[in-house]
């Protein structure tokens, strides 16, 4: 069934280096591989998905502001911004639709400074540690949330 649901997938700093950056932690899949997996899951759920990556918090904030009138949901892998980017947290809090935080690795099993997320309190949930599947699960979480809303 076709739905008029548009999802914005946001990717934070250094995620453009996926595939070559610390493959023992993040795997060998590129950012485009992750976007493709999320897009396939979105199409299967009857959604459309647009993806943006930026190493700049201000650019991500601008995209979140634009999303308020263009998108029904946001999936975000904030990367290192997870732990301190209050501007992103505030922007997401002003977004009316569901937000799902995703991570390729599991921040809770890594360095202690990665254990705090300023995004989690404004998200409906966090999916972490499942590699590329985290993105697919993020789309499925949005579908489940909207179907049960």
Task: Point out the residues that are catalytic.
Answer: 26, 103
Beta strands 99-103 and 125-128, pairing class: parallel
The answer to whether the CB of 72 falls within 8 A of the CB of 99 is: no
Strand partners, 128: 103
Q: Which residue has the tokens 């254990």?
A: 115
Distances from the Cα of 55 to the Cαs of 12, 42, 72, in angstroms? 6, 25, 24
H helices of the chain, where? 23-26, 31-44, 57-70, 86-93, 133-147
Give the Cα separation of 66 and 25 in Å (integer): 32
Distances from the Cα of 127 to the Cαs of 20, 108, 120, 131, in angstroms? 23, 11, 10, 10
């Amino acid at each position: 069934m076709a739905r008029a649901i548009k999802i914005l997938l946001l990717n934070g700093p250094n995620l453009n280096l996926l595939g070559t950056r610390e493959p023992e932690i993040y795997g060998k899949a590129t950012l485009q591989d992750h976007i493709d997996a999320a897009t396939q899951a979105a199409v299967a759920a009857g959604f459309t998905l647009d993806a943006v990556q930026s190493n700049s918090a201000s650019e991500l904030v601008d995209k979140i502001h634009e999303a308020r009138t263009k998108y029904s949901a946001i999936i975000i892998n904030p990367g290192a911004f997870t732990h301190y980017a209050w501007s992103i947290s505030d922007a997401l809090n002003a977004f009316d639709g569901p937000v799902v935080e995703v991570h390729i690795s599991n921040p809770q099993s890594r360095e202690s400074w990665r254990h705090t997320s300023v995004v989690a309190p404004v998200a409906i949930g966090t999916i972490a540690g499942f590699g590329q599947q985290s993105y697919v699960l993020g789309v499925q979480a949005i579908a489940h949330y909207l179907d049960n809303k």
